[in-house]
């Protein structure tokens, strides 16, 4: 997820901490605690690599956060109805979103954010009016965008949001930037979406994945050697009415929360983008989540 | 089942799609098409370019393209280059005062008044201007800033300027030291300039009769400057800067094309002589600037006081405001600048024949007492990603329009025939500039 408070300063501090031969460079980006873990490296190099990681994370946040008025996302959403020329990176992300839309048969849709106009997941019982949701559905559908290479036209009233892939994409981008520069094993972790280069000499990386329970201390510990983990969940954002819990994962075809999804899905895959998409798609499959993941033959953890 | 086969293939397709996304991102670092190569070449450079058109009402006009490029160096320093080309043409006052009768002057390259080709005639009551004035100037410079320590930076640089009749070279060096948690910066700068003049037709002998064409060879002058500055962060949104500077020029400081009318008691010019300025000039100045920012606006207020050994004292006050729109991609920047100077001790709009004169003499209106007002407005628009690959952060188009009005403080009224003539005409000028920052 790509978030960030409005007008938040994009350049923050880098904090360094050393524990058992692992240096952690921590910073905050995309409304998440982020860290780069490095095995046995001098502090100056760690800080340099940390700055590359943070710089890329902040760049992607600044460029794609829909909360920032100067972002590319805001620019695209602010100019609906006219033909835009987008840069190559944005075009690649749109291509990727198109493929995900297609292979999820419309379940993964970066235009579904307009449904938030009706749904406010604030823990209350304010479930929206069915007619209002129905009305917004006409503004959802990636196939309604007109695209040709770097040209894009978003029909009036629609909007795009890279929030569903931004953080995972940032993890992979940082991984790619560091893999050529970093001589020691490292792990990039942006708020639980992570990717490791190779295991530590004495064993796998131990990472804590937040559980969706109210008891925050009970984090799930996972071992990671190579590859990526991504987690989707509806832990904190929901509505509760007449005993029905409405999770924040909205089905882009019905406009209503997907029922029967696990509370949290963590998937292991070779890249964070891939893991993130698999966990998001599984979440959208509702009761079919587990079966979908089994078919993909990936490691996963459901809660 | 068909459906299952399709779902099971999701991961394989997803791997291919993620891979395409990420390799595209990595490959963008190694793009090969010409615009992308150019984009990479310029990647770390900030380019500023502008073309200005300047026109004085009834006098000269100029076109001036400027381009500068700056980049940060690996160690946190900076390197920048700039290049300017000026092309000036039109009519420039030659220093003589208006007269009731038509006046004929020789072009600078003339050796005598023989041919009409080398002379120009100014009508009665008109300010004498050389109508064939033209000049082209090419200038460039470079500066390199590097870190001496975590808190101390040094800059060394140089610039040159080339015209048909004037060459100039300057070297400069400065050192900046920050203290008080980097909230204060003290600067010390020195510069040295060497100029070489080769006036068209030769350098005239000062105070010689204009009609005698008594001219010598090339001339030179040199200058040294010293600057001491303090920049202080007052609050998060208020920056103050104060400078004092001292510079000294020596050598040939005349304008080789400027003359002075020598008139008789009836106001009729009897001859013209070449001007003569002291061969040294020492200038002291103090400068204070405050910049404040609030919400989507910022303001800069600057004041300068200058005094020199020629008796010229000047004051400048400038206010510049900038307002951004809500999306912070467009701004409007109005500016007002007020300038006032006193005349040089040896400024005389004319001299009267057979009256005692000091050894120094100039009728150059730039040494007269005058005040001037400039009103300007600039509009800028940030392109951000609106142009696809071409644009990046900081890409900006801007337009600037300025109106300048100079009023020469009325000097002595002319005797006899000069009375009633507009001896001190106002100067009005407009500047139009189109800029592009990348």
The reply to whether B26 falls in a domain is no
Query: What local confidence, expressed as pLDDT, does residue B215 receive?
Result: 85
Q: Does A281 touch chain B (CB under 8 A)?
A: yes
Q: Which A residues in the span 47-66 are in contact with B, Cβ-Cβ below 8 Å? A: 63
**What residue has token string 């606006």?**
B297
The reply to whether B317 falls in a domain is yes
Q: Does A104 touch chain B (CB under 8 A)?
A: yes
Query: What local confidence, expressed as pLDDT, does residue B166 receive?
Result: 93
Going across the sheet that includes A151-153, the strands are A83-85, A151-153, A146-148
Segment B197-243, tens digit of pLDDT: 999 888 999 988 888 888 888 999 999 999 999 999 898 889 999 99
* Pairwise CA distance, residues A289 & A87, whole Å: 35
Q: With H, G, I as helix, E, B as strand and everything else as coil, classify residue A155.
A: coil
The reply to whether B95 falls in a domain is yes
Which phi and psi angles does B319 have, rounded to 5°? Answer: -120, 130
Query: What local confidence, expressed as pLDDT, does residue B415 receive?
Result: 83
**Pick the residue with more confidence: A2 or B121?**
B121
* Pairwise CA distance, residues B326 & B315, whole Å: 36
Query: What local confidence, expressed as pLDDT, does residue B239 receive?
Result: 92
What residue numbers bound the domain in which B330 lies?
Answer: 31-437
* Residue % of chain B over a pLDDT of 70: 91
* Pairwise CA distance, residues A50 & A181, whole Å: 11
Query: What local confidence, expressed as pLDDT, does residue A114 receive?
Result: 87
CA atoms within 13 A on the CB side of B216: 11
Query: What local confidence, expressed as pLDDT, does residue B4 receive?
Result: 45
Computed over its alpha carbons, how large is the radius of gyration of chain B? 28
Computed over its alpha carbons, how large is the radius of gyration of chain A? 19
> Is A274 within 8 Å of B386 when comparing Cβ atoms?
no
User: Contact at 8 Å (CB) between A265 and A283?
Assistant: yes
CA nearest to A75, candidates B322, B25, B381: B381
Sort residue B361 into left (φ over 0), alpha (ψ -120 to 50) or beta. beta
CA B16, distance to chain mean position in Å, is 57
Segment B335-357, tens digit of pLDDT: 999 999 999 999 999 998 877 77
Q: Does A110 touch chain B (CB under 8 A)?
A: no
Retrieve residue B378's tokens.
């600039």
Q: CB atoms < 10 A from the CB of A18, how many? A: 12
| DSSP symbol at A176 | H
**Which of the residue ranges A130-139, B177-186, B380-389 would you say has the lowest mean pLDDT?**
B380-389
Low-confidence ranges of chain A (pLDDT < 50): 1-10
**What residue has token string 């020195």?**
B190
Segment B386-416, tens digit of pLDDT: 555 555 666 889 999 999 999 998 777 888 8
CA nearest to A114, candidates A154, A152, A63: A154
- Residue B173 CA: distances (Å) to CA of B149, B248, B250: 17, 17, 20
> Is B10 within 8 Å of A75 when comparing Cβ atoms?
no
As for the ipTM of the complex, it is 0.79
> Is B389 within 8 Å of A90 when comparing Cβ atoms?
no
Of B8, B14, B329, the CB nearest to A70: B329
> Is A273 within 8 Å of B4 when comparing Cβ atoms?
no
β-pairing, B259-263 with B350-352?
A: parallel
User: What is the nearest CA distance from A174 to chain B, expressed in angstroms?
Assistant: 10
Q: Which chain B residues contact residue A173 at CB under 8 A? A: 22, 25
pLDDT band, very low/low/confident/very high, at B29 (cuts 50, 70, 90): low
Q: Does B286 touch chain A (CB under 8 A)?
A: no
The reply to whether B59 falls in a domain is yes
Retrieve residue B83's tokens.
């290049």
**What residue has token string 């460079």?**
A25
Mean pLDDT, rounded, for B165-171: 95
Considering only alpha carbons, which residue of chain B is nearest residue A70?
B327
The reply to whether B364 falls in a domain is yes
User: What is the nearest CA distance from A126 to chain B, expressed in angstroms?
Assistant: 32
> Is B14 within 8 Å of A277 when comparing Cβ atoms?
yes
CA nearest to B333, candidates B380, B394, B397, B384: B380
Q: Which chain A residues contact residue B19 at CB under 8 A? A: 271
Q: Does B230 touch chain A (CB under 8 A)?
A: no
Of A74, A84, A92, the CB nearest to B21: A92
pLDDT band, very low/low/confident/very high, at B284 (cuts 50, 70, 90): very high
User: Is residue B375 over pLDDT 80?
Assistant: yes
The structural domain count of chain B equals: 1
Q: Which residues pair with B54 in a beta bridge?
A: B62, B431
Considering only alpha carbons, which residue of chain A is nearest residue B392?
A87
For chains A and B, count residue pairs whose Cβ atoms are closer than 8 Å: 98
Query: What local confidence, expressed as pLDDT, does residue B69 receive?
Result: 92
Query: What local confidence, expressed as pLDDT, does residue B96 receive?
Result: 92
Mean pLDDT, rounded, for B171-196: 94
> Is A100 within 8 Å of B328 when comparing Cβ atoms?
no
Retrieve residue B65's tokens.
């393209």
Query: What local confidence, expressed as pLDDT, does residue B20 receive?
Result: 82
CA B163, distance to chain mean position in Å, is 16
Query: What local confidence, expressed as pLDDT, does residue B217 receive?
Result: 86
> Is A95 within 8 Å of B20 when comparing Cβ atoms?
yes
* Pairwise CA distance, residues B60 & B38, whole Å: 38
The enclosing domain of B383 has a CATH number of 2.40.160.40
* Pairwise CA distance, residues A130 & A119, whole Å: 11
* Pairwise CA distance, residues B261 & B353, whole Å: 9
Query: What local confidence, expressed as pLDDT, does residue B37 receive?
Result: 62
Judged on CB neighbours under 10 Å (0-12, 13-18, 19+), B97 is: buried
Retrieve residue B328's tokens.
């912070």
Query: What local confidence, expressed as pLDDT, does residue B416 receive?
Result: 82
> Is B389 within 8 Å of A87 when comparing Cβ atoms?
yes
Q: With H, G, I as helix, E, B as strand and everything else as coil, classify residue B328.
A: coil
**Pick the residue with more confidence: B43 or A268?**
A268
CA B304, distance to chain mean position in Å, is 16
Please, what is the average pLDDT of chain B? 87
> Is A93 within 8 Å of B21 when comparing Cβ atoms?
yes
User: Is residue B133 over pLDDT 90?
Assistant: no
Q: Does B388 touch chain A (CB under 8 A)?
A: yes
Query: What local confidence, expressed as pLDDT, does residue A79 receive?
Result: 86
Q: What share of chain B is helix, strand, coil (3-state, %, to 5)?
A: 10, 55, 30
> Is A281 within 8 Å of B329 when comparing Cβ atoms?
no
Mean pLDDT, rounded, for B66-76: 84
């Amino acid at each position: 997820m790509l978030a960030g408070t409005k007008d938040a300063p994009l350049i923050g501090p880098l904090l360094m901490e050393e524990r058992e031969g692992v240096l952690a460079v921590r910073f905050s980006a995309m409304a998440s605690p982020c860290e780069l873990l490095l095995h046995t490296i001098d502090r100056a190099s760690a800080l340099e690599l940390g700055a590359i990681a943070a710089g890329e994370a902040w760049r992607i946040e600044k460029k794609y956060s829909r909360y920032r008025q100067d972002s590319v996302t805001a620019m695209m959403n602010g100019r609906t109805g006219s033909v835009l020329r987008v840069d190559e990176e944005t075009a690649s992300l749109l291509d990727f979103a198109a493929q995900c839309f297609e292979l999820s048969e419309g379940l993964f849709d970066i235009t579904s954010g307009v449904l938030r106009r009706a749904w406010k997941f604030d823990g209350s019982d304010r479930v929206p009016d069915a007619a209002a949701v129905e009305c917004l559905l006409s503004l959802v559908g990636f196939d309604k965008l007109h695209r040709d290479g770097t040209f894009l036209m978003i029909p009036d009233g629609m909007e795009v949001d890279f929030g569903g892939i931004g953080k995972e994409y940032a993890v992979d981008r940082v991984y790619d930037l560091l893999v050529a520069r970093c001589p020691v094993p490292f792990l990039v972790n942006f708020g639980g979406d992570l990717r490791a280069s190779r295991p530590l000499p004495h064993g796998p990386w131990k990472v804590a994945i937040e559980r969706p329970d109210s008891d925050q201390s009970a984090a799930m510990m996972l071992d990671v050697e190579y590859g990526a983990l991504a987690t989707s969940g509806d832990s904190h954002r929901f509505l509760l009415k007449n005993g029905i819990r409405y999770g924040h994962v909205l089905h882009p075809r019905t406009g209503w929360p997907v029922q029967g999804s696990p509370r949290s899905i963590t998937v292991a895959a070779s890249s964070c983008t891939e893991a993130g998409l698999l966990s998001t798609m599984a979440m959208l499959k509702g009761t079919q989540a587990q079966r979908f993941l089994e078919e993909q033959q990936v490691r996963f953890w459901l809660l | 089942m068909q459906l299952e086969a399709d779902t099971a293939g999701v991961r394989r397709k997803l791997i291919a799609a993620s891979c395409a996304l990420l390799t595209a991102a990595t490959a963008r670092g190694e793009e090969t098409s010409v615009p992308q190569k150019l984009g990479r070449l310029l990647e770390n450079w900030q380019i500023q370019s502008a073309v200005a058109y300047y026109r004085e009402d009834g006098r000269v006009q100029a076109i001036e393209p400027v381009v500068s490029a700056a980049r940060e160096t690996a160690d946190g320093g900076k390197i920048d280059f700039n290049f300017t080309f000026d092309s000036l043409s039109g009519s420039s006052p030659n220093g003589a005062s208006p007269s009731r009768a038509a006046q004929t002057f020789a072009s600078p390259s003339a050796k005598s008044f023989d041919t009409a080709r080398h002379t120009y005639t100014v009508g009665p009551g008109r300010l004498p201007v050389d109508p064939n004035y033209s000049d082209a100037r090419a200038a460039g410079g470079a500066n390199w800033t590097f870190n001496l320590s975590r808190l101390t930076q040094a800059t060394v640089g140089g610039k040159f300027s080339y015209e048909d009749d004037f060459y100039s070279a300057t070297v400069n060096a400065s050192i900046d030291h920050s203290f008080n948690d980097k909230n204060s910066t003290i600067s010390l700068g020195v510069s040295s300039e060497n100029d070489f003049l080769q006036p068209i037709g030769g350098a005239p002998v000062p105070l010689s009769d204009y009609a005698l064409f008594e001219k010598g060879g090339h001339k030179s002058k040199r200058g040294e400057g010293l600057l001491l500055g303090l920049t202080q962060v007052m609050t998060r949104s208020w920056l103050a800067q104060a400078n004092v500077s001292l510079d000294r020029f020596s050598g040939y400081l005349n304008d080789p094309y400027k003359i002075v009318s020598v008139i008789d008691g009836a106001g009729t010019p009897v001859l013209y002589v070449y001007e003569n300025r002291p061969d040294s000039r020492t200038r002291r100045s103090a400068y204070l600037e405050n910049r404040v920012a609030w919400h989507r606006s910022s303001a800069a207020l600057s004041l300068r006081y200058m005094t020199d050994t020629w008796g010229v004292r000047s004051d400048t006050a400038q206010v510049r405001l900038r307002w951004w729109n809500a999306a912070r991609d467009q701004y409007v920047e109005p500016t007002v600048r007020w300038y006032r100077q006193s005349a040089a001790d040896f400024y005389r709009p004319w001299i009267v024949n057979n009256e005692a004169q000091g050894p120094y003499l100039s009728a150059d209106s730039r040494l007269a007492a005058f005040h001037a007002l400039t009103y300007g407005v600039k509009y800028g628009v940030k392109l951000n990603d609106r142009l696809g690959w071409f644009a990046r952060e900081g890409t900006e188009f801007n337009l600037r329009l300025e109106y300048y009005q100079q009023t020469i403080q009325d000097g002595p009224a002319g005797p006899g025939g000069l009375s009633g003539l507009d001896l001190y005409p106002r100067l009005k000028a407009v500047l139009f500039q189109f800029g592009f920052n990348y």
